[in-house]
């Protein structure tokens, strides 16, 4: 094939022409060539984003609508940095980090991504199965969950293996992912459209203005209710702690550690280089930020309108209990026992205490869909449409976790991308996800021992990965003539430091709340190992 007929060469020529055009025309060309950013969008729109958005709506209502978009802006910034480094140097980041920065940081980054892929596939299989059985009402027999798990595994494997079949496979794969992300966004957007007549749009738009006072005081809707409780101080602390947890966790998890691994390798897989740097930033804005913003915003709006400051009447009145109520009973009992312990045996919780205990229970996608039935009188809208979005989230995330793992395994083994080792590595999260969901994830103890170490290690590594990217883009030995200069470098470093501080605070808070001194010990050991590796290296490049 001649160079003139090479699709990559044609793409580079198209970009060169686009750079001479006005901004809107340039964006039109970028939109046609976008790809890796949509992979990022597909993985971030998973079970974690759904659960987080649901509870942000419960605890903060419309007042926390600004939170996730702001944290994602920081995430997009850091992803843009690693993308810029990769496209400027053409080096695989794992090898570049080991060579130019620190091998402990490189290996820690790789291992954290692998663990995240293998463990976090499990809840995605759980989410997908729940959507099929609960929202669609099918395959819920004795062997239903096994059939669902097999179906999800087959779909994920087929789509990922198409990615490994060459440039045409990559293009087909990206089209499939774009469609799936669009389905997720449109499903949740459709839910908000159905609800639009009953929404307070003034409060919704006001909710996009950052309000950091929510770190020190409960959302306004709880203020009056708390005053009428038996122990306002207790409920104030409970609600405030929950708000803080959500806010700092969003800072730590808007971009997962495995997402930082995916982006550079998916760009290299497409043959992108220096000519694609402008496209890469646009691609992240279009494929990652925009779908994430629309989908999570719609879920928060729906959750806030149905659950914020409200409760399931069946929790307080047995005569009004439904199937949805039963799933909330344990969480309600736990919340109620907390205030009872605070009041002591001589005093009973009052009616407001019971209402607050009911308001603060976490809801899942099935409960939100069920609550929407009252708005539409149409189960097809409330359950099936919402279920399509939930299933799309699960399937797209499973696919991307498998894709990332293929890249990670090739780096671990020093294998070639697209080879048999890459293919086998790709299906591993599908295997651990399906088997883990069927035999481990339903066991609370097993889930704890899988999820906590993985999440702690991933959260430890996320700010450390950000530090690594910060060092990479400022490394003369790595960046050469692509090293940012002047005011551009100053502005970029300031923005990166803000993102790094936000991620560090979020990760630190999350780690402390989960494992406290054990987390501190993990961080200390890792940093000590990195420090020792730095001074023991005999091939450290000299920075000019």
Q: Quick check: 49 and 298 in contact, CB under 8 A?
A: no
Cα dihedral 77, 79, 81, 82, rounded to 10, equals 170
**DSSP notation for 313-369:** HHHH-GGG--HHHHHHHHHHHHHHHHHHHHH-TT----HHHHHHHHHTS---HHHHH
User: Is 80 exceeded by the pLDDT of residue 510?
Assistant: no
Element (H, E) at 27: helix 23-33
Instruction: Tell whether 11 is covered by a domain.
Output: no
**Could you list the residue range(s) of the whole structural domain that residue 258 is in?**
21-536
Return the minimum-mean-pLDDT range out of 90-104, 109-123, 250-264.
Answer: 250-264
Tell me, what's the pLDDT at 514?
74
Instruction: Tell whether 365 is covered by a domain.
Output: yes
Q: Quick check: 280 and 169 in contact, CB under 8 A?
A: no
Q: Which residue has the higher pLDDT, 322 or 484?
A: 484
DSSP tally for the chain: helices H, then strands E = 26, 0
Average pLDDT over residues 67-85: 91
How far, in Å, CA of 113 to CA of 115, rounded?
A: 6
Label residue 148 by pLDDT band (50, 70, 90). Answer: very high
User: Is 50 exceeded by the pLDDT of residue 544?
Assistant: no
Instruction: Tell whether 330 is covered by a domain.
Output: yes
Average pLDDT over residues 120-136: 88
Range among 161-170, 323-332, 373-382 rated most confident:
323-332
Tell me, what's the pLDDT at 379?
61
How far, in Å, CA of 80 to CA of 10, rounded?
A: 24
Q: Quick check: 71 and 52 in contact, CB under 8 A?
A: no
CATH code for position 522: 1.20.1740.10
Q: Helix H segments across 45-143?
A: 47-60, 67-89, 93-96, 103-130
Tell me, what's the pLDDT at 1?
39
Q: pLDDT per residue over 198-233, tens digit each? A: 889 999 999 999 998 988 899 999 988 999 999 999
- Helices 7-18 and 23-33, packing angle to 10 deg: 160
User: Is 80 exceeded by the pLDDT of residue 440?
Assistant: yes
Q: How many domains does the chain have?
A: 1
How far, in Å, CA of 35 to CA of 178, rounded?
A: 8
Q: Quick check: 533 and 115 in contact, CB under 8 A?
A: no
Q: pLDDT per residue over 370-424, tens digit each? A: 666 655 555 666 677 778 888 888 898 899 999 999 999 999 998 887 788 888 9
Return the minimum-mean-pLDDT range out of 74-83, 164-173, 463-472.
Answer: 164-173
Q: pLDDT per residue over 7-47, tens digit each? A: 778 888 888 888 888 888 888 888 888 888 888 888 888 77
Best CA proximity match to 512, nearest among 460, 449, 437, 475: 460
How far, in Å, CA of 394 to CA of 117, rounded?
A: 13
What are the phi and psi torsion angles at 166 (to 5°)? Answer: 120, -175
Instruction: Tell whether 371 is covered by a domain.
Output: yes
User: Is 90 exceeded by the pLDDT of residue 494?
Assistant: yes
Q: What value, to the nearest 5°, has the Cα angle with vertex 79 and ends 77 and 85?
A: 105
User: Is 50 exceeded by the pLDDT of residue 284?
Assistant: yes
* Mean pLDDT, all residues of the chain: 85
User: Is 80 exceeded by the pLDDT of residue 455?
Assistant: no
Label residue 55 by pLDDT band (50, 70, 90). Answer: confident
Instruction: Tell whether 77 is covered by a domain.
Output: yes
Instruction: Tell whether 416 is covered by a domain.
Output: yes
Instruction: Tell whether 5 is covered by a domain.
Output: no
Instruction: Tell whether 541 is covered by a domain.
Output: no
Q: What value, to the nearest 5°, has the Cα angle with vertex 111 and ends 105 and 112?
A: 85
Percent of the chain with pLDDT over 90: 32
């Amino acid at each position: 094939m001649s160079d003139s007929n090479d699709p990559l060469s044609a793409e580079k020529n198209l970009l060169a022409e686009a750079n001479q055009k006005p901004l809107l025309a340039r964006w039109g060309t970028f939109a046609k060539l976008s790809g890796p950013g949509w992979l990022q969008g597909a993985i971030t729109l998973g079970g974690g984003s759904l659960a987080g958005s649901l509870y942000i709506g419960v605890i903060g209502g419309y007042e926390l609508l600004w939170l996730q978009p702001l944290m994602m802006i920081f995430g997009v910034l850091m992803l843009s940095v690693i993308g810029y480094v990769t496209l400027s140097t053409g080096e695989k980041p794992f090898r570049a980090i080991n060579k130019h920065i620190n091998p402990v940081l490189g290996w820690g980054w790789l291992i954290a991504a692998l663990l995240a892929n293998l463990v976090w596939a499990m809840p995605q299989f759980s989410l997908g199965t729940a959507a099929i059985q609960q929202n669609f009402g099918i395959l819920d027999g004795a062997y239903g969950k096994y059939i669902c798990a097999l179906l999800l595994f087959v779909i994920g494997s087929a789509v990922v293996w198409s990615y490994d079949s060459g440039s045409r496979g990559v293009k087909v794969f990206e089209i499939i992912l774009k469609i799936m992300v669009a389905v997720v966004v449109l499903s949740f957007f459709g839910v908000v459209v159905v609800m639009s007549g009953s929404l307070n749009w003034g409060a919704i738009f006001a909710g996009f203005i950052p309000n950091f006072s929510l770190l020190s005081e409960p959302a306004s809707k709880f203020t009056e209710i708390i005053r009428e409780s038996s122990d306002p101080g207790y409920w104030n602390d409970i609600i405030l702690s929950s708000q803080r947890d959500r806010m700092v966790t969003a800072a730590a998890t808007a971009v997962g550690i495995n997402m930082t691994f995916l982006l550079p390798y998916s760009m290299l897989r497409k043959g992108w280089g220096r000519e694609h740097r402008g496209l890469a930033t646009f691609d992240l804005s279009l494929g990652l930020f925009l779908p994430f913003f629309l989908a999570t915003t719609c879920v928060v709006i729906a959750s806030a309108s149905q659950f914020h400051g409200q409760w399931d009447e069946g929790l307080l009145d047995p005569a009004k209990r439904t199937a949805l109520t039963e799933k909330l009973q344990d969480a309600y009992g736990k919340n109620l026992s907390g205030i009872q312990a605070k009041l002591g045996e001589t005093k009973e919780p009052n009616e407001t205490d019971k209402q607050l205990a009911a308001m603060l229970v976490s809801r899942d996608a099935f409960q939100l869909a069920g609550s929407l039935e009252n708005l539409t009188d149409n189960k097809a809208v409330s359950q099936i449409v919402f279920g399509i979005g939930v299933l799309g989230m699960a399937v797209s995330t499973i696919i991307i976790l498998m894709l990332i793992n293929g890249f990670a395994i090739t780096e671990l083994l020093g294998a070639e991308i697209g080879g048999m080792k890459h293919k086998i590595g790709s299906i591993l999260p599908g295997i651990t996800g399906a088997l883990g969901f069927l035999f481990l994830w339903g066991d609370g103890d097993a889930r704890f021992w899988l999820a906590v170490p993985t999440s702690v290690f991933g959260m430890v590594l996320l700010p450390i990965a950000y530090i690594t990217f910060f060092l990479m883009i400022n490394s003369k030995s790595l960046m050469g003539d692509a090293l940012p200069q002047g005011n551009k470098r100053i502005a970029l470093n300031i923005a990166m430091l803000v993102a790094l501080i936000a991620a560090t605070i979020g990760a630190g808070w999350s780690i402390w709340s989960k494992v406290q001194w054990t987390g501190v010990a993990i961080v200390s050991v890792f940093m000590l190992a990195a420090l020792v590796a730095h001074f023991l290296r005999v091939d450290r490049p000299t920075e000019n």
